[in-house]
Amino acid sequence: MHKGCAITVGELGEFGVIQRISGRLPQGAAVLLGPGDDAAILRAPDGRVVVSTDLLVEGRHFRRDWSGGYDIGRKAAAQNLADIAAMGAEPTALVVGLGLPPDAAADWLDALTDGFRDECDLVGATVAGGDVTRSETVVLGVTALGDLGGRPPVTRSGARPGDVVAVAGRLGHAAAGLALLTAGAGAGAPELRELPEAHRRPRPPYACGPRAALLGATAMLDVSDGLLQDLGHVAEASGVAVALDAAALPVAEVLAAAAAELGADPLEWVLTGGDDHALAATFPPAVRLPPEWTVIGQVEQGHGVRVDGQVRAVGGWDHFRE
């Protein structure tokens, strides 16, 4: 290798890639034995372990010409950590399977690792281990682990008629950002810059999950595939109807500005856009919610999801629909 040339993961080899990743990741408090052996060992003080897994494929979930390695690491970690928080649990660790093309630059790998580390730092978690292999495109398989701290899990099946429906976090931002990137629009508009960033790097309200459990949330999930679609899962699992008030939905000013740029309806982004990983939950009506939560509707007898009394097409993300 000539001096000054970038190192690729192909030049590092599998062992070198693993060593490079391991050397950049601190060991978290929940990890008794981290990367380097055949398996990691984690503390499980609750006696139960919350587990969730996701797969991210280049070209389907992210594009390297739109997102750097750091952003991809943050996004991959965020969408998995949000699943743990949505159960009312505290995230403790991630295990990452990584497929890499041999021509991927080593500094891109370093940035990816730093993204995972920094997102985990937000919740006190760590990357406890994983595996790496050669692949034609970048593929990430991420498993998240969490601890309930003695609390019962908050599932999708506990909503009851009379409960209020509330959300915490951003809605529609990632979808609007994807629309701007796809259209090549708004690049020179500083007021719209946060939307492509929202697509590249979501900001889940992690702390709201365990706090919602303590407040008595009856059902909860993270909004990864669109508000209508995900609340439809709550309605189906709980055997209830969810009635939303369009006027109560949080449509940010920046969404209205992007919609004007693209000739779109910002409410559609809020209702059907995924990848923000906001939390949606149902609570007994007597619960006094903190300001992080916005009440957007209520749970009723029946089935399905309605907006202002009208059944809406679910929309949202489907991996097998173009």
121 marked ligand binding residue:
no
Q: Which residues pair with 280 in a beta bridge?
A: 167, 221
Q: Is 38 annotated as a binding residue?
A: yes
Would you say 83 is a known binding-site residue?
Answer: yes
Report CA dihedral (258, 261, 267, 273) to the nearest 10 degrees: -60
Q: Which residues contact 67 (CB under 8 A, 6 or more apart)?
A: 75, 200
* 22 assigned to a ligand binding site: no
222 marked ligand binding residue: yes
276 is in an annotated binding site: no
114 annotated as ligand-binding: no
- Among residues 133, 154, 45, 41, the alpha carbon closest in space to that of 95 is found at 41
41's tokens? 């060992």
Query: Which amino acid is present at 57?
Result: V
The closest of 167, 189, 185 to 276, measured between CA atoms, is 167
Helices (H), 162-315: 173-183, 194-200, 208-215, 227-238, 253-262, 266-272
Conformation bin of residue 156: beta by default, left when phi > 0, alpha when psi is -120 to 50: alpha
Residue type, 228: L
What length is written for the chain?
A: 322
Cβ atoms within 10 Å, residue 23: 10
Instruction: Report whether 152 contacts 119 (CB < 8 A).
Output: no
What residues form DSSP beta bridges with 140? 56, 98
Q: Which residues pair with 56 in a beta bridge?
A: 140
Residue 275 labelled as part of a binding site: yes
The reply to whether 103 sits in an annotated binding site is no
Q: Write out the DSSP string of 105-144.
A: BHHHHHHHHHHHHHHHHTTT-EEEEEEEEE-SS-EEEEEE
155 known member of a binding site: no
Which residue numbers belong to the known binding site for substrate?
61, 275, 317
Which residue numbers belong to the known binding site?
38, 52-54, 61, 83, 130-131, 156, 222, 224-225, 275, 317
Which residue numbers belong to the known binding site for ATP?
130-131, 156, 224
Which residue numbers belong to the known binding site for Mg(2+)?
38, 52-54, 83, 131, 222, 225
